[in-house]
Amino acid sequence: MSELRYNPLLRDWTMVASHRQKRPNMPKDDCPFCPGSGKVPDHYDVYKYDNDFPALSQNPPTPDPVATELYKVAPAYGKCEVILYSPEHHATLPQLPVSHIRKVVDLWTERLVELAKNPEHKYVLIFENRGPEVGVTMPHPHGQIYAFPYIPLKIRTELDSCREHHKETGRCLICDINREEETSQERVLLETEHFVSYIPFFTDYPYGAFISSKSHKGSLAAFSDAEKDDLANILKQVTAGMDALFDREFPYMMVLHQDPVNGPDTSTYFHFHIEFYPPLRAKDKIKFLASAETGAWAPCNPTAVEDTAKALRAAIARAKGAVHGD
């Protein structure tokens, strides 16, 4: 079964993809993403691979005949792609050279532009799940891209907030958040020429970092070559700092938030940023989402972000020093 089911309580769609239960947990010595597997080229730097178990597809099956006047269904139309970061089976994002991460950024951008050409696609979500703590079944380092036929609720909520803020103030909400964090400096992790990273005042994850462009631009497609180089640089530094924080591979969910496609222009009030949702609250302790957080969307952060930002900022500095031999 593969279809979309409408949730009238939230005015959002749920992807139903029962075939994904067949996804394998790959043995460490049998990886389809490694050169020589027969599924990918024998030589590549970065590579786009169509997901073998997509939740959304270009030729979706007809939904089951379960719809009613209240309960709507729709074909699970869209595209699911895998972005392979490297041919090296263990080379995670923070372990790659900046020049190689730039190739990842270029591939993200290329796929964003290509997927936006399909007028049925309304939102292109670029993301990465890292670590078994967030359900990763393929250990080879990779990210994913979902091209949705609708704008998902969280993104839609951010867009609505940014639009209202712009209507009330004439300013971009993300620009104002950047300015607030840079003025305080207490929660800032790292600043580069074109980007700033911080654990925002309001995050619900102890180490829920943001990376935001300093210039008001809505998507990867708007970035200059210098900005793409700098994005690769700050991605490496922030994720390397996460690994250095507890001296272990740091699990996270990383999502790029950018302008929707094939819809009204949002570029005047929306602003590119990356959000991290890391489940760790300590080296071997997980922050689980409990009843209030799941049932009421009432987040509870068990830490003060001023403290966690200080710790992660120091870890980023340590990781940078280790790379440069300081």
Active-site residues: which are they?
A: 142
Cα separation values, 141 from 32, 33, 51, 88, 193, Å: 12, 9, 14, 8, 28
b/e burial code for range 181-213 (CB count within 10 A of at least 16 → b): beeeeebbbbebebbbbbbbeebbbbbbbbbbb
Dmax over CA atoms of the chain, in Å, equals: 66
Tokens of 185: 């400096």
What is the SS3 assignment for 196?
strand
Exposed/middle/buried for residue 169 (C-beta within 10 Å: 0-12, 13-18, 19+): exposed
Angle 316-143-218 (CA atoms, 0-180°, nearest 5)?
75
Cα separation values, 98 from 102, 104, 275, Å: 6, 10, 20
> Helices 305-324 and 225-245: crossing angle, nearest 10°?
110
What's the DSSP call for residue 61? P
- Residue 249's Cβ-side half-sphere holds a number of Cα atoms within 13 Å equal to 14
Beta bridge partners of 67: none
Tokens of 195: 């980007």
**How far is it, in rounded angstroms, from Cα 80 to Cα 125?**
10
**How far is it, in rounded angstroms, from Cα 15 to Cα 22?**
16
Do residues 124 and 261 make contact, with C-beta atoms less than 8 angstroms apart? yes
